[in-house]
Amino acid sequence: MAEKDPPNTRACFTRRALVLGGLQLGAFGLLGSRLYQMQIVEAHRYSTLSDENRINTRLVPPPRGKIYDRFGLLVASNRDNLKIVIVPEDSGDLEQLLERVSLIAPIEDKDRSKVLRRAKRQRAFVPVAVKENLTWAQFARINVEGPGLQGVRPEAGYSRQYHYGRELAHVLGYVGPVSDWDRADDPLLLIPGYEIGKSGVEKTSDTALRGRPGIRHVEVNAGGRVIRELNRTASVPGDDMVLTVDLELQKFALERLEGQNAAAVVMDVETGEVLALASNPAFDANQFVGGMSRSVWRSLMGNADKPLMNRAVQGQYPPGSTFKMVVALAALESGLIKPGESVRCTGRYYMGKSSFGCWKRSGHGHMNMHNAIRMSCDYYFYEIAKRIGIERIAEMAQKLGLGDAYADEFMNAKPGIIPTPGWKQATLGEVWFPGETVIAAIGQGYVLSTPLQLAVYASRIANGGRAVTPHLVRAVGGKSAMPESVEKLDISDVSLAFVRNAMDAVVNGGGTAARSRLELEDVRMAGKTGTSQVHGMTAALRAKTAANGGVIPRKFVDHALFVAFAPVEAPRYAIAVVVEHGGGGSRAAAPVAKDIMTRVLELDIAGRAPFELETPPGRTADDDAADEGLLDG
């Protein structure tokens, strides 16, 4: 017979049972209290959170602002773009998913690699563009098979369309997908496949052209499939824009440059508006929209004629004799040289042990400043440059607009070079020699300029010394983008009038451009020819030329330049033309300028009212706050 537990053992067990029971009861009480708190007291909060799990907020890309030429011709707009995007965190095996999508809309291997690389670099919930410009059949099939393609979303967006892709390629530039190094300081940049400006006006005015995204709230199921759209806030299109460029003149200028590596810039001397900015050869900007195949990119980059280079703002050339007005004005303003003072040109100028030839080997005889400009006498300018010094020449060149890239409106524009002793010491670590002043006087040596700078230079001489700057954009969103006033340069009207008169003689007084006189009744063009040496005539080059029947290899032929303005009596238009390896400026560049200037005057561009945009509603602080909220979210 079993022994009974002693009384003290039973009492101990009872206390433990009561303690354990009490703890269990307390735990169930806390659990019940928490359930009551969550299901009754905080029911609305958790219901909202549940809704947020099934309701997605998506950005709606806005159409990019349209671009018009100065008289209202549409040159850049948007077209529908059907595309596929993938949300990496919802897609499972991304490589396998891309393989399945490729059966519907073929994806090239390089594009697959790009998608996989992008998915790894960015946050998993940010969508990645996979394929753009789908056919309607492909888009419809993706929509039908969507439930079986986890993480895949068909979307409709916009792509840029250039209506004159070649004629305005260097002016407009082009758009392209957001790159890894583009700053994501705008919620728009998070939209898969969104394109931003990469060059030209598209780049310099990108922020204004973008617009603001809209918002869609959509209900999705557990697989991420959209069940319905709950509400939508419309996107705000980017600002429309009006260029200063006249498309008709732009097309004519480009046609006139056909077959040559050349550039031409036409400006309104009163306002600084660029009426034409032509660079040949060109390319089709539409090739860049939505990405470019490697073969096309290689063909453009490997082209020896460099069609992607905007020669009008990136081509840096010795200005040659077009620079002589700089030296003349510097001399007149210094007071060291009198206009009627004569210098005898013998054909060769001597300085110490060095000598410098005039283009006319037999010499021009006695030359005053007027005739030296008219006949482009090198000897005369050698002499007066030695007297006034390089610093005065450089100062005048900068006043007249040389050495400035005007980079605010012109993408990747080059500044050229206006040399000084300080520049040489800082750049090359060498001292300046007197002979370098002599060479600079005829626009050679270290002196470099772009066609755009030469057009500004001619404009400032023509308009009486007003410091106009070049502009490509006339209005954005209905608001003028032009400056309200232009300062007057510290150059005397007498000096400027003297130089303008001499430039008139270059064309209309038997000067170096006499064959390029305008054939319009009672309208004259004033100008200055220039020929810049590309390579010195060394013994080796002479031998090569002789072996080639006296023909200099093209790459060693001089560049041809011409700057001009018209009408002489009341200047309104300025032009600069550079023809690479064209030979003499009077032979290759002046005739081009004559034809383009004739067309400008026939079109009467300044006399016609430009296109005006309607002024849109202004952006508010609430709009900025909303965009910041989208980015944070």
The rounded distance, in Å, linking the Cα atoms of 420 and 436 is 10
458 in Cβ contact with 576 (< 8 Å): yes
Q: How would you classify the pairing of strands 241-243 and 67-68?
A: parallel
**Secondary structure element (H or E) that encloses residue 480, with its range:** strand 479-480
CB atoms within 10 A of CB 405: 16
Q: In the prediction, which pLDDT does 631 show?
A: 42
Of the candidates 275, 248, 200, the residue with the CA atom closest to the CA atom of residue 471 = 275
CATH class of the domain whose range is 57-243: alpha beta
Q: Each residue of 29-46: pLDDT tens digit?
A: 777 776 666 667 666 555
The CATH number that domain 258-273+306-344+389-607 falls under is 3.40.710.10
pTM of the model: 0.81
What residue has token string 């009408």?
567
3-class state of residue 227 by DSSP: strand
Q: Each residue of 409-439: pLDDT tens digit?
A: 998 999 999 999 999 999 999 999 999 999 9
Burial status of residue 500 (CB atoms within 10 A of its CB: 0-12, 13-18, 19 or more): middle
347 in Cβ contact with 358 (< 8 Å): yes
3-class state of residue 584 by DSSP: coil
Q: In the prediction, which pLDDT does 479 show?
A: 93
Q: Among 89-98, 153-162, 499-508, name the one with the lowest average pLDDT.
A: 89-98
3-class state of residue 389 by DSSP: coil
592 in Cβ contact with 262 (< 8 Å): yes
3-class state of residue 276 by DSSP: strand
Higher confidence at residue 99 or residue 340?
340
Residue intervals in the chain for CATH 3.40.710.10: 258-273+306-344+389-607
Residue intervals in the chain for CATH 3.90.1310.10: 57-243
Amino acid at 335: G
Strand ordering across the sheet containing 55-60: 55-60, 214-220, 226-233
| 344 DSSP β-pair partners | 366
Higher confidence at residue 290 or residue 626?
290
> Which residues have a Cβ under 8 Å from the Cβ of 388 and sit 6 or more positions away?
327, 330, 331, 334, 336, 337
- Percent of the chain residues past pLDDT 90, beyond the cut: 57
What is the crossing angle of helices 590-603 and 247-256, to 10°? Answer: 160
Sheet strands (E) in 16-151: 55-60, 67-68, 74-86, 128-131
Q: In the prediction, which pLDDT does 485 show?
A: 87
Q: In the prediction, which pLDDT does 597 show?
A: 98
What is the token pair recorded at 143?
């929509």
Q: Which residues are catalytic?
A: 321
